[in-house]
């Protein structure tokens, strides 16, 4: 097991190097520049040249990349031009906010997705199945930011039950209760699409498993239906579904950008959008790096869980 994990972690390195090179090139090749972003529309060519020199942007690309890589290996992600603070501070602050949001969403979409999928499969073609499928399909088809705005209108503006945006109350806020109240709408909005996807996949996986001979055997042996479903069928179906949940992480992390914009959640998705429009290369690199590492690690975790559930996969 340990060797397996180490092998997978080792594979991370070339992925990350390749990723950072691609990001670097893309940002360098798109038109527009950091200097104009920092200096504003009244930037004079003289000031632009000065800023470029100061930030080392007039160096050849390969030198800029190697400098960045060298600093990174010393744990220095550089200093954001647009924000004038260390990249590492900004990235980890924003990333922890996204982690809270995306983490909660993933828990929600996994729990409800799996539950809905099981119920759907067990009551296949029955009324429950039809109702669940209906809601699932609506969930998958709804644009998340639109749903977010609708929820804000209903729960914040009309009913005044929940706050419209933000992570905490801005004056005198803080604490777990405050955070949870602010977390409800954005995490539900973010979870909706993934819940639908997981529900459909679970339903399909469950149906597949329920047809198996050993399920019939278990029933014949006299096990309660509940035991059959949860102890045997579900566990087997989970093996198929877990890696798909891992993939959904990517979609959830990506979809977080829209939710972060609509709910003014100070997350890393939003940070990246702003960093790209100001061409803040160091901030973009830092953000992409952290996101990529977490995505890969999460998928690794999913694979490990899968291997634990089904030892046959270890080979």
Partner 1 sequence: MSPLFRNTLAGMAFAALATGAVSAPALAQTPPNVLIVGQIAEPKSLDPSVDTAVNDFRILMNMYDGLVRYKDGTLEPEPALAKSWDISDDGLTYTFHLRDGVKFHDGTPFNADAVKFTFDRMLDKDNPYYDTGPFPLAFFFSAIDSVTAVDDSTVTFKLKEPYAPFLSNLAYPTGLIVSPAAVKQYGKDFGRHPSGTGPFKFEEWDSNTKVVVSRNDDYWDGAPPLDAVVFRPITDANTRVAEMLSGGIDLMVEVPPDNLKQFQDDPNFKVYEQAGPHVWFLILNAKEGPFADKRVRQAVNYAIDKKSLVDNVLQGTAEVAAGPTPPAFAWAYDNKLQPYPYDPEKARQLLKEAGAEGAELTFYVTEGGSGMLDPVAMATAIQADLAKVGLKVNIKTFEWNTFLGEVNPGLAGKADMAEMAWMTNDPDTLPYLALRTGAFPDKGGFNSGYYSNPKVDALLEKARTSTDQAERAKLYKQMQEIVHDDAPWAFIANWKQNAVSTAAVKDFSLQPSFFLILRDVSKG
By CB under 8 A, name the binding residues for partner 1.
Answer: 30-33, 36-47, 50-51, 54, 82-85, 90, 93-94, 115, 119, 122-123, 128, 149, 152-153, 156-157, 160-172, 177, 180-181, 184, 225-226, 229, 261-264, 266, 270-271, 274, 277-279
Sequence-ordered list of residues with C-beta below 8 angstroms from that of 274, at least 6 positions apart, any chain: 82
C-beta of 161: minimal distance to partner 1 in Å?
5
Quick one: how many helices (H) and strands (E) in the chain? Answer: 13, 0
Answer whether 80's CB lies under 8 Å from 86's CB.
yes
User: 47 or 142, CB closer to partner 1?
Assistant: 47
* CA-CA-CA-CA torsion sign (160, 162, 167, 170): positive
Answer whether 124's CB lies under 8 Å from 113's CB.
no
Sequence-ordered list of residues with C-beta below 8 angstroms from that of 54, at least 6 positions apart, any chain: none
C-beta of 155: minimal distance to partner 1 in Å?
9
Sequence-ordered list of residues with C-beta below 8 angstroms from that of 264, at least 6 positions apart, any chain: 165, 166
Neighbours of 130 (CB within 10 A): 12
C-beta of 119: minimal distance to partner 1 in Å?
6
User: 24 or 298, CB closer to partner 1?
Assistant: 24
C-beta of 146: minimal distance to partner 1 in Å?
10
User: 196 or 246, CB closer to partner 1?
Assistant: 196
User: 97 or 288, CB closer to partner 1?
Assistant: 97
C-beta of 141: minimal distance to partner 1 in Å?
21
User: 16 or 39, CB closer to partner 1?
Assistant: 39
């Amino acid at each position: 097991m340990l060797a397996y994990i180490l092998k997978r972690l080792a594979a991370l390195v070339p992925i990350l190097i390749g990723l950072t090179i691609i990001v670097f090139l893309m940002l360098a090749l798109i038109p527009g520049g950091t200097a104009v972003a920092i200096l504003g529309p009244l930037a004079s060519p003289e000031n632009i040249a000065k800023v470029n020199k100061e930030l080392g942007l007039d160096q050849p690309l390969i030198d800029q990349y190697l400098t960045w890589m060298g600093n990174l290996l010393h744990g220095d992600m550089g200093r954001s031009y647009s924000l004038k603070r260390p990249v590492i501070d900004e990235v980890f602050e924003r990333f922890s906010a996204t982690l809270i949001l995306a983490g909660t969403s993933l828990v929600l979409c996994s729990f409800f997705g799996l539950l809905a999928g099981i119920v759907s499969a067990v009551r296949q073609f029955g009324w429950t199945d039809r109702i669940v499928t209906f809601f699932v399909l609506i969930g998958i088809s709804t644009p998340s930011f639109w749903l977010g705005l609708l929820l804000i209108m209903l729960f914040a503006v009309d009913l005044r039950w929940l706050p419209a945006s933000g992570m905490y109350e801005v004056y005198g806020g803080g604490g777990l209760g405050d955070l949870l109240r602010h977390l409800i709408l954005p995490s539900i909005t973010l979870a909706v699409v993934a819940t639908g996807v997981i529900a459909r996949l679970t339903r399909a996986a469950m149906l597949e498993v329920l047809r198996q001979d050993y399920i019939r055997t278990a029933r014949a042996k006299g096990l309660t239906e509940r035991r059959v479903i949860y102890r045997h069928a579900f566990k087997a179906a989970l093996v198929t579904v877990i890696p798909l949940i891992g993939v959904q992480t990517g979609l959830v992390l990506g979809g977080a950008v829209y939710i972060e914009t609509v709910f003014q959640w100070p997350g890393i998705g939003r940070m990246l959008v702003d960093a790209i429009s100001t061409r803040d290369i160091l901030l973009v690199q830092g953000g992409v790096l952290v996101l990529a590492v977490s995505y890969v690690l999460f998928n690794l975790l999913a694979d490990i869980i899968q291997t634990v559930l089904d030892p046959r996969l270890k080979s």
